[in-house]
């Protein structure tokens, strides 16, 4: 079965890589978000944008790493397969988690990733200022990472969080929509 | 006394500002003592770190300002790790560092092991009689080699400046206020042996040395 | 037995306060401080900070036990690694202290080993929760701890050990 094969692939690749203490990663992410909140004077909408932008930059570079480490040479045959690879290989390799894939639309172009655990949110409590829980998407960098990485393999997607336990929601859920495949077109111009 | 507002009792400022999930899980429900150190791929750290550096670069002019900024970002982490690492010690060795040497050992052993999976290589006291307030934590093969996947444009010193900030946070938190800077010394001293060798120079505030003299535990 | 617990920041600023009564020997967990005593508690606690400063550099333990006494008020202290102080003022009720002088119960004898141990356990549990609070990237040094969950946790530790 494709999905359990993907799981094994993720586990395999992950153990092969050099490791760092998860807490160093988590604390570093925390200091980045806190610094952004400070720099943008708690304009959380702007902080979300900045996190997404950082993620996008990371995603564009990370995809090569991913392709090398997962030995994936073949293109995913469908967006459903792409979702499997994101959840079971990508997230497994880089964050050692496997979000659940749910809520497909009937056209197979939109799905959700539901995060049972989220290392970034370890030990995080959002500021009690009456706004952060309504405006800040703490883990928003992940959306940018997916957007950037998939763009490099000719998929234009849109990704955003729809709920977060840090906001008091019962789940942490990211919604991913395929906008279009960009392979048959001219390469985008440099901007 | 001035800070204690009169009649301000315990219950008067209880305001449930934050919402929590219906299962009631909050940060207070997570165990502090992990049975086994959770690990993530080095790449995750490298990507995150390099993105932090390039973001910082856009907001500063010059390498010194950049390093200052990275130092500032590391500082709160040192403050947090001081208590976290202390509480993870077995009860018998849960002691606050009272002397410079005890503090530096805590950094060399506990902090380094937590961050990098091994101790720092050496501690040294400045041999210059004019700078008795200076100590050095020496790492022969830091970060650069550990985080190989950090992009080349990110110099070793950036990463070390971040670590220097963490160290400074530990010192300040433990009430040994200090300024900590990172210096690359590879090639100068031991030739080709340790090209990435880095010295973290810890310069304590005068009050730290005065206190040390007072309590007679130099 | 009534307790007044405070967390004091590195600038001697209060970060958290909570008062409660014993839950041992059928206690209802309510503090029995008079309004006057309540004002005095804060004063007493604060004036013991000078003594903390003397003790903290000669004793590296986190738990410094009873560091000060003011009439019938005993102050126990716990220092975090980050030099934040947990102070617990405990005031045995006059009758309890008189009637059961030799009692080993936590409420009756503020300096008995049993009481010391109970307070130590209380402090340790608060410390664990305190660390969770300060781990948040949005927590800054000397920031007040306003989380109701933290308060519940302190209350629970009080009920459990004191």
Give the pLDDT of chain B (218 residues) as one tens digit per residue: 344 443 444 343 444 588 999 887 888 888 887 656 688 888 888 889 889 988 998 898 888 898 899 999 999 999 999 999 999 998 888 999 999 999 999 999 999 999 888 899 999 999 999 999 999 999 987 754 445 444 455 566 678 899 999 999 999 999 999 999 998 886 655 556 777 788 999 999 999 999 999 886 54
Among B201, B161, B180, B200, which residue's Cα sits nearest to residue B62? B161
Q: What is the pTM of this model?
A: 0.88
CA distance C25 to chain A (A): 37
Q: Does the beta carbon of B86 lie under 8 angstroms from any beta carbon of chain C? A: yes
Asked if A20 and B51 come within 8 Å (Cβ–Cβ), the reply is no
Query: What residues of chain C lie within 8 A of the CB of B82, using their CB?
Result: 81-82
The strand order across the sheet containing B122-125 reads B122-125, B134-139, B198-204, B178-184
User: Tell me: the pLDDT tens digits for B46-102?
Assistant: 889 889 988 998 898 888 898 899 999 999 999 999 999 999 998 888 999 999 999
pLDDT value, residue C3: 92
* B182: region left, alpha or beta (phi > 0 left; psi from -120 to 50 alpha): beta
Asked if B37 and A21 come within 8 Å (Cβ–Cβ), the reply is yes
Query: Given A14, A21, A169, which is nearest B115 (Cβ)?
Result: A21
pLDDT value, residue B215: 82
pLDDT value, residue A20: 82
Chain C residue closest to B79 (CA)? Answer: C82
What are A184's strand-pairing partners? none
Query: What residues of chain C lie within 8 A of the CB of B79, using their CB?
Result: 82, 134, 141
Query: What residues of chain B lie within 8 A of the CB of C64, using their CB?
Result: none
The answer to whether residue B4 is domain-embedded is no
- Residue to mutate among C6, C30, C60, C81, with most B CBs inside 10 A, is C81
Q: Name residues whose C-beta falls within 8 Å of residue A124's C-beta, 6 or more positions apart in sequence.
A: A30, A138, A166, B27, C136, C137, C138
Query: Given B15, B83, B102, which is nearest C82 (Cβ)?
Result: B83
What is the distance of C-alpha B218 from the center of its chain?
Answer: 23
Neighbours of A53 (CB within 10 A): 17
The ipTM, to two decimals, is 0.88
- How far apart CA C10 and CA C12 sit, in angstroms, is 5
Measured torsion, CA atoms of residues B95, B99, B101, B103, in degrees rounded to the nearest 10: 50
The answer to whether residue B84 is domain-embedded is yes
DSSP string across A49-82: HHHHHHHHHHHHHHHHHHHHHHT--SPPSSHHHH
Q: Does the beta carbon of B2 lie under 8 angstroms from any beta carbon of chain C? A: no
The strand order across the sheet containing C63-70 reads C14-21, C2-8, C85-91, C73-79, C63-70
Among A76, A57, A70, A53, which residue's Cα sits nearest to residue A154? A76
- How far apart CA A122 and CA A137 sit, in angstroms, is 14
Q: Give chain B's domain count.
A: 1
**Long-range CB pairs of A42-49, under 8 A, 24+ apart, other chains included:** A42/A127, A42/A129, A42/A131, A42/A132, A44/A131, A44/A132, A44/A135, A44/A136, A45/A135, A47/A136, A47/A140, A48/A135, A48/A136, A48/A137, A48/A140
The answer to whether residue B17 is domain-embedded is no
- How far apart CA C137 and CA A123 sit, in angstroms, is 8
Asked if B9 and C19 come within 8 Å (Cβ–Cβ), the reply is yes
Residue with tokens 């900024």: B69
Q: Which pair of tokens denotes residue C140?
A: 């800054």
Asked if B1 and C62 come within 8 Å (Cβ–Cβ), the reply is no
Q: Does the beta carbon of C146 lie under 8 angstroms from any beta carbon of chain A? A: yes
Q: Which domain holds residue B202?
A: 42-215
CA distance B218 to chain A (A): 33
What are C66's strand-pairing partners? C76
- How far apart CA A146 and CA A176 sit, in angstroms, is 9
Query: What residues of chain A lie within 8 A of the CB of B81, using their CB?
Result: 27
pLDDT value, residue B150: 47
CA distance B101 to chain C (A): 13
Which DSSP helix (H) or strand (E) runs through A121?
none
- CATH of residue B99: 3.30.1380.20
CA distance C141 to chain A (A): 14
- How far apart CA C103 and CA B131 sit, in angstroms, is 57
pLDDT value, residue C101: 46
pLDDT value, residue B200: 95
The answer to whether residue B154 is domain-embedded is yes
Beta strands in C9-158, from DSSP E residues, in sequence order:
14-21, 63-70, 73-79, 85-91
Judge whether A143 and A115 are in contact, CB under 8 Å: no
Asked if C137 and A124 come within 8 Å (Cβ–Cβ), the reply is yes
Query: Given A19, A31, A96, which is nearest B76 (Cβ)?
Result: A31
Query: What angle (nearest 5°) sits at the alpha carbon of residue A119, between those of residues A170 and A6?
Result: 95
pLDDT value, residue B171: 98
Q: Does the beta carbon of C30 lie under 8 angstroms from any beta carbon of chain B? A: no
Chain B residue closest to C135 (CA)? Answer: B80
Asked if B32 and C131 come within 8 Å (Cβ–Cβ), the reply is yes
What three-state secondary structure class fits A44? Answer: helix
pLDDT value, residue B154: 52
Identify the structural domains of chain C with CATH numbers, from first to last: 2-161 (3.30.450.70)
What is the distance of C-alpha B164 from the center of its chain?
Answer: 6
Which residues, given as ranges, of chain A have pLDDT below 70? Answer: 1-3, 5, 8-17, 72-74, 183-191
User: Tell me: the pLDDT tens digits for C82-130?
Assistant: 999 999 998 876 554 444 444 556 666 778 888 899 999 999 999 999 9
The answer to whether residue B55 is domain-embedded is yes
The answer to whether residue B2 is domain-embedded is no
Query: What angle (nearest 5°) sits at the alpha carbon of residue B15, between those of residues B10 and B19?
Result: 140
Query: What residues of chain A lie within 8 A of the CB of B39, using their CB?
Result: 19-22, 96
- How far apart CA C136 and CA B143 sit, in angstroms, is 25
Judge whether C23 and C158 are in contact, CB under 8 Å: yes
- How far apart CA B53 and CA B73 sit, in angstroms, is 10
The answer to whether residue B25 is domain-embedded is no
pLDDT value, residue A135: 97
């Amino acid at each position: 079965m494709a999905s359990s094969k993907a799981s094994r692939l993720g586990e395999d690749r992950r153990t092969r890589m050099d490791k760092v203490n998860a807490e160093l990663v988590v604390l570093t992410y925390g200091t980045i978000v806190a610094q952004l909140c400070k720099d943008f004077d708690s304009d959380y909408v702007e902080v979300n944008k900045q996190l997404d932008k950082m993620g996008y930059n990371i995603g564009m570079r990370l995809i090569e790493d991913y392709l090398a480490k997962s030995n994936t040479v073949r293109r995913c045959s469908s967006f459903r397969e792409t979702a499997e690879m994101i959840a079971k290989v990508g997230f497994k390799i880089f964050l050692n988690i496997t979000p659940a894939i749910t809520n497909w639309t009937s056209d197979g172009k939109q799905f959700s990733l539901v995060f049972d655990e989220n290392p970034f949110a370890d030990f995080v409590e959002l500021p009690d200022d009456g706004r952060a829980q309504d405006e800040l998407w703490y883990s928003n960098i992940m959306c940018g990472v997916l957007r950037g990485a998939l763009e490099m393999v000719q998929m234009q997607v849109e990704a955003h969080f729809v709920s977060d336990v840090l906001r008091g929601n019962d789940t942490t859920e990211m919604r991913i929509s395929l906008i279009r495949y960009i392979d048959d077109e001219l390469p985008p111009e440099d901007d | 006394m001035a800070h204690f507002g009169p009649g301000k009792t315990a219950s008067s400022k209880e305001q449930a500002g934050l919402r929590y999930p219906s299962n009631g899980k909050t940060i207070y429900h997570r165990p502090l003592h992990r049975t086994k150190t959770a690990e993530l791929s080095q790449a995750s750290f490298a990507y995150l770190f390099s993105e932090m550096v390039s973001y910082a670069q856009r907001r500063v002019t010059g390498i010194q300002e950049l390093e200052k900024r990275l130092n500032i970002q590391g500082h709160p982490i040192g403050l947090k790790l001081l208590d976290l690492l202390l509480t993870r010690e077995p009860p018998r060795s849960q002691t606050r560092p009272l002397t410079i040497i005890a503090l530096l050992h805590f950094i060399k052993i506990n902090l380094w092991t937590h961050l990098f999976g091994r101790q720092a290589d050496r501690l040294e006291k400045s041999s210059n009689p004019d700078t008795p307030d200076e100590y050095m934590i020496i790492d022969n093969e830091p970060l650069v080699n550990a985080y190989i996947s950090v992009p080349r444009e990110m110099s070793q010193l950036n990463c070390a400046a971040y670590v220097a900030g963490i160290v400074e946070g530990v010192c300040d938190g433990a009430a040994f206020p200090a300024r900590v800077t990172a210096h690359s010394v590879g090639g100068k001293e031991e030739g080709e042996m340790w090209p990435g060798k880095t010295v973290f120079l810890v310069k304590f505030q005068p009050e730290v040395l005065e206190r040390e003299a007072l309590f007679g535990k130099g | 037995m009534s307790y007044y617990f405070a967390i004091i920041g590195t600038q001697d600023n209060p970060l958290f306060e909570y008062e409660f009564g014993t839950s041992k020997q059928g206690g209802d967990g309510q503090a029995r401080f008079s309004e006057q005593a309540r004002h005095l508690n804060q004063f007493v606690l604060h004036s013991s900070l000078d003594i903390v400063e003397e003790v903290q550099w000669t004793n590296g333990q986190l738990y410094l036990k009873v560091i000060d006494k003011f009439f019938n008020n005993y102050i126990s202290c716990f220092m975090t690694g980050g030099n934040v102080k947990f102070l617990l003022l405990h005031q045995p009720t006059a009758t309890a202290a008189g009637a059961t002088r030799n009692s080993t119960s936590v409420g009756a004898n503020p300096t008995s080993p049993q009481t010391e141990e109970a307070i130590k356990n209380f402090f340790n549990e608060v410390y664990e929760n305190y660390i969770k609070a300060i781990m948040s990237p949005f927590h800054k040094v000397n920031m007040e701890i306003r989380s109701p969950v933290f308060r519940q946790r302190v209350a629970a530790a009080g009920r459990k050990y004191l």
